[in-house]
């Protein structure tokens, strides 16, 4: 009975959520697009000519926003982007115009080979990660899972990111958060936490932004 009440409460909040309504009106697949939009407007992350990789991209709202932003900078009448967006996810994703999608685990060599083929010799300018692990409700276990997901994105950035590039990952306040921040500060010259308005107040989620890798490769 309590579970049913929780589901009804979540459904009520979701249906009446202004960002859900805005996403439906503007054609975004999820309200998460507005989290990235707010961070981008504050930190000027997405710029013409960039190579952008969206990790854990499905259902695709972050890639949609990135495409919209790059399309604004395109001078072509054929709608080609002034930049490249590559979305990766283990799950399938409905196609998005001008967005290259790779289905698979980015830790696997075969997936990295596809990515390398797409970007050539260039480094990635911006890595986005809205990935979130399946949470169990057990604090210690969940903290470890969250840290692991952040570590994966950080390791990927250390291998593939341009030295002046940026990494934006979803994280959660709680046990292990300070360790994740510490790792980011060891890797990036600039580290900041962002809590956009589109992120629900009762949610512990926070986004960590690292800019400019400290060590050249």
Structural domain contains residue 6: no
Query: 95-118 pLDDT, tens per residue?
Result: 999 999 999 998 899 998 999 899
> pTM for the full model?
0.89
Active site residues: 170
Structural domain contains residue 173: yes
**Residue ranges of the chain with per-residue pLDDT less than 70:** 1-16, 73-80, 216-217
H/E segment holding residue 85: strand 84-89
pLDDT score for 75:
55
Strand partners, 124: 161
> What is the domain range of residue 137?
30-213
Structural domain contains residue 68: yes
Side-chain half-sphere exposure of 148, counting CA atoms within 13 A: 11
pLDDT score for 4:
53
pLDDT score for 136:
72
Q: Which of 168, 101, 175 is nearest to 145 (CA)?
A: 175
Please check whether residue 99 is in contact with residue 85, taking contact to mean a CB–CB distance below 8 angstroms. Answer: yes
CA distance 71 to 32: 19
Structural domain contains residue 9: no
Structural domain contains residue 1: no
Side-chain half-sphere exposure of 92, counting CA atoms within 13 A: 1
How many CB atoms are located within 10 Å of the residue 39 CB?
22
H/E segment holding residue 87: strand 84-89
Structural domain contains residue 13: no
Query: 173-205 pLDDT, tens per residue?
Result: 887 899 999 999 999 999 999 999 998 877 889
Structural domain contains residue 107: yes
Structural domain contains residue 2: no
pLDDT score for 144:
85
Q: What CATH number has the domain bearing residue 204?
A: 3.40.50.150
Please check whether residue 82 is in contact with residue 73, taking contact to mean a CB–CB distance below 8 angstroms. Answer: yes
pLDDT score for 77:
46
The number of folded domains in the chain is 1
């Amino acid at each position: 009975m309590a579970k049913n009440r929780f589901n009804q409460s979540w459904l009520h909040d979701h249906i009446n959520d202004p960002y859900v309504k805005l996403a439906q009106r503007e054609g975004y697949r999820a309200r998460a697009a507005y989290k990235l939009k707010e961070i981008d407007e504050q930190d000027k992350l997405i710029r013409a000519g960039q190579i952008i990789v969206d990790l854990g991209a499905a259902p695709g709202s972050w890639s949609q926003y990135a495409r919209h932003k790059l399309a604004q900078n395109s001078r072509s009448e054929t709608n080609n982007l002034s930049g490249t967006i590559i979305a990766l996810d283990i799950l399938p994703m409905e196609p998005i115009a001008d967005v290259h999608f790779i289905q698979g685990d980015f830790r696997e060599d075969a997936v990295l080979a596809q990515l390398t083929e797409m970007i050539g010799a260039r480094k990635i300018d911006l890595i986005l990660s809205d990935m979130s692990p399946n949470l169990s409700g057990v604090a210690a276990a969940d903290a470890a899972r969250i840290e692991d997901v952040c570590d994966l994105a950080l390791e990927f950035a250390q291998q593939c990111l341009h030295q002046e590039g940026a990494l934006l990952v979803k994280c959660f306040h709680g046990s292990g958060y300070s360790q994740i921040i510490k790792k980011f500060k060891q890797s990036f010259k600039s580290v900041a936490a962002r809590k956009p308005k589109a992120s629900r107040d009762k949610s512990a989620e926070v986004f960590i932004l690292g800019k400019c890798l400290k060590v050249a490769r």
